[in-house]
Amino acid sequence: MPFTFFRFHRRFFRAGRQAIKVFMALSGLALAALPASAQVKSGAYRVMLKNLLSHTVPEIQVQEAARDSASIFFLDARETDEFEVSHLRGALHVGYDHFKPEVLKDVPKNRRIVVYCSVGYRSEKIAEKLLEAGYKNVSNLYGGIFEWVNQDHSVYDDKGRTARVHAYSRTWGVWLKKGKKVYGKQ
């Protein structure tokens, strides 16, 4: 009896190890299929974004947005003091707390628009409002300006290129790994 019991458990253990290998392989394939989140460089940041965002609007990877930036109309959904520290080249500041889609009344509804903020939460909400207002080609910059800077893309202020980035708060600033963090109004 003990020998049969041992043989059963050994076979069960091997099957369990095989199932774990299959699960890990499939998990890797699933992660590879995630279009935007798989491109965020930090694993911890990727997990945080996956849980923070609702994923209710199309998301664009930093790499794609940087590559296509000449044809994209960028909207900055951060507040004025954040925008003044730095922003993406050519971005229009629209804010978050007092955003009204009417500020874009002269922008064609089919124009390619990418909305961003620090990490993507506020910009996701603004992108939802734009889609509700009839804009057809709106995306959220996955990982926001933090991921943009973390991937070595330039940001600008009213004088030109800068290393400074408003980090929103010390809590959120942990996700900004590159650039010079700025807090508060400066």
- Residues belonging to the active site: 117
Structure tokens at 156: 């600008």
Q: Which candidate, 153, 176, 152, places its Cα nearest to that of 166? A: 176
Structure tokens at 162: 């800068």
- How many CA atoms lie less than 13 Å away from 32 in the CB half-sphere? 6
d(C-alpha 113, C-alpha 68), whole Å: 11
Structure tokens at 59: 């998301």
